[in-house]
């Protein structure tokens, strides 16, 4: 019989690993502290509008990843599609330039229902327990681990545990866990290598669509408050006909400066906080014409948006302790396709060590 496994975190790395191991016969349970799945594959609705406020699209160059994306259908049966428009660059002065032609040749995959469609597809058929926060694990005398929640109660017991939360959250679990001192020290030293950038993501709805030759702009010199500005209305079914949706993802320094005041939620045009008004003005400055009247704004926060540096995946997963780790910090880049591939990679390691 294949081992039992608890995966902590229902982001794409955990879902990809869980899907692969469940298909191989492992008894897999995923525990997730939120009500959804996918982590940064996050899609929200506001009235008739739909927008992706974390990862903006999926790259799938070739092989199994391309097959996964092309084989994933939306709830209405529609397939993934390429957004089909380029990403250009801008600098701190607002000067806009054409983007990298090689990178723009890669498809930018999305679904009518948003990027979260992929997360839901990976989770389909898996046992996922929502709103369960794991705080520590304890090695059992007969092997395996017990997992405890915030109340101190045992959530479950399994032969193996895969931690897929961001490195600081996984480190907090390891630090509180009943495991060998040497193992704890080794794992914490590895996890401490990962560093993250924060991001506040703001989406604005307007009455008119600006005439721009790009799908998105990325800040090339990292000196502008806005790191990324995208036309969400370029995605099928995301905005009402004629209306615009612009998503601005803010640079780390700006996000840190406004973190405490940036309350998640939506604001009508007449009652936006000053920091939201500031970002809206910055967005307009990057547009060649007016997007019309502002209708509303939405604010979301990502504490662990992108890893600036990563941990050693082989070292974390080579302890033969039954504890495993996966996530974009194991790759060192905040890219959805790399996190999925890392989930598959760690699942393969676990199969070989089982």
Residue-wise pLDDT for 260-298, tens only, equals 999 999 999 999 999 999 999 999 999 999 999 999 999
- Confidence (pLDDT) at 62: 83
Say how far apart CA 163 and CA 5 lie, in whole Å.
11
- Confidence (pLDDT) at 60: 92
Say how far apart CA 40 and CA 19 lie, in whole Å.
18
> Looking at the domain that runs over 4-33+132-194+311-353, which CATH code has it been given?
3.50.50.60
Structure tokens at 337: 């396709």
Burial class (CB in 10 A: 0-12, 13-18, 19+), 75: exposed
Inter-residue contact 14 to 7 (CB < 8 Å): yes
Burial class (CB in 10 A: 0-12, 13-18, 19+), 283: buried
Which long-range CB contacts under 8 A does 252-255 form with residues at least 24 apart?
A: 252/197, 252/198, 252/199, 252/227, 252/305, 254/200, 254/225, 254/226, 255/197, 255/198, 255/199, 255/200, 255/301, 255/305
Residue whose pair of structure tokens reads 């545990």 in the numeric block? 161
Whole-Å CA distances, 269 to 41, 242, 266, 292, 315: 27, 18, 10, 12, 50
Structure tokens at 231: 């036309």
Q: Locate the domains of the chain by residue range.
A: 4-33+132-194+311-353, 43-114+196-306
Residue whose pair of structure tokens reads 């973190």 in the numeric block? 259
Which residues in the chain come in under a pLDDT of 50? none
- Confidence (pLDDT) at 61: 84
- Confidence (pLDDT) at 179: 98
- Confidence (pLDDT) at 217: 99
Say how far apart CA 333 and CA 339 lie, in whole Å.
8
Q: To 10 degrees, the CA torsion angle through 256, 262, 263, 266?
A: -130
Say how far apart CA 306 and CA 195 lie, in whole Å.
8
User: 43-114+196-306: which CATH topology?
Assistant: Polyamine Oxidase; Chain A, domain 2 (3.90.660)
pLDDT tens for residues 296-339?
Answer: 999 999 999 999 999 999 999 999 999 999 999 999 999 999 99
Say how far apart CA 350 and CA 354 lie, in whole Å.
6
- Confidence (pLDDT) at 354: 84
């Amino acid at each position: 019989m294949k081992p039992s496994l608890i995966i902590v975190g229902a982001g794409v790395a955990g879902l990809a690993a869980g899907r692969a191991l469940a298909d191989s016969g492992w008894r897999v349970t995923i525990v997730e502290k939120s009500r959804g799945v996918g982590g940064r594959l996050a899609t929200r609705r506001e009235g008739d509008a739909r927008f992706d406020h974390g990862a903006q699209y999926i790259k799938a160059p070739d092989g199994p990843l391309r097959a996964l994306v092309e084989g994933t259908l939306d709830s209405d049966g529609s397939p993934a599609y390429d957004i089909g428009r380029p990403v250009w660059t801008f600098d701190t002065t607002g000067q806009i330039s054409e983007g990298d032609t090689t990178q723009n040749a890669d498809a930018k995959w999305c679904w009518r229902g948003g990027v979260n469609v992929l997360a839901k597809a990976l989770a389909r058929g898996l046992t996922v327990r929502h709103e369960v926060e794991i705080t520590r694990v304890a090695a059992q005398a007969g092997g395996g681990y017990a997992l405890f929640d915030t109340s101190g109660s045992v959530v479950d017991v399994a032969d193996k545990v895969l931690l897929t939360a961001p490195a600081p959250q996984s480190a907090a679990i390891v630090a509180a866990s009943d495991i060998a001192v040497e193992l704890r020290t080794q794992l914490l030293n590895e996890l401490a290598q990962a560093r993250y950038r924060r991001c506040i993501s703001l989406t604005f709805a307007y009455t008119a669509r600006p005439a721009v030759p790009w799908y998105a702009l990325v800040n090339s010199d990292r000196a502008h408050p806005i790191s990324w500005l995208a036309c969400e209305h370029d995605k099928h079914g995301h905005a009402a006909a004629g209306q615009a949706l612009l998503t601005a993802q803010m640079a780390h320094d700006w996000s840190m400066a406004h973190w405490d005041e940036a309350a998640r939620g939506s604001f009508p045009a007449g009652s936006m906080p000053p920091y939201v008004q500031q970002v809206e003005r910055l967005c307009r400055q990057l547009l060649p014409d007016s997007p019309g009247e502002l209708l509303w704004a939405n604010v979301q926060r990502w504490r662990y948006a992108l890893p600036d540096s990563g941990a050693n995946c082989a070292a974390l997963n080579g302890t033969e302790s039954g504890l495993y780790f996966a996530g974009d910090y194991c790759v060192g880049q905040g890219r959805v396709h790399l996190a999925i591939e890392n989930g598959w990679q760690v699942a393969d390691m676990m199969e070989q060590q089982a």
